[in-house]
Structure 1
Amino acid sequence: MKRFEDFKKLDELEKERENKIIKTSIFGIIGNAVLAIFKVFIGMKSNSIAILVDAVNNLSDAGSSVITIVGTKLAGKEADNKHPFGELHPKIRNTDGGVFSCQNIQKNLKLS
Structure 2
Amino acid sequence: MNKWRKQQVVVLMVAQLAHLHSLMNQKKFKTYGCLPSAYDIIQMKKKSGHNWACHGNESVMCGGFVQYVREYHPELDLSVGNLISYKTWYYEGEEVALIEVSTKSN
TM over 0.5: no
Q: TM-score of the superposition, structure 2-length normalised?
A: 0.28
Q: TM-score of the superposition, structure 1-length normalised?
A: 0.27
| Higher-helix-fraction structure | 1
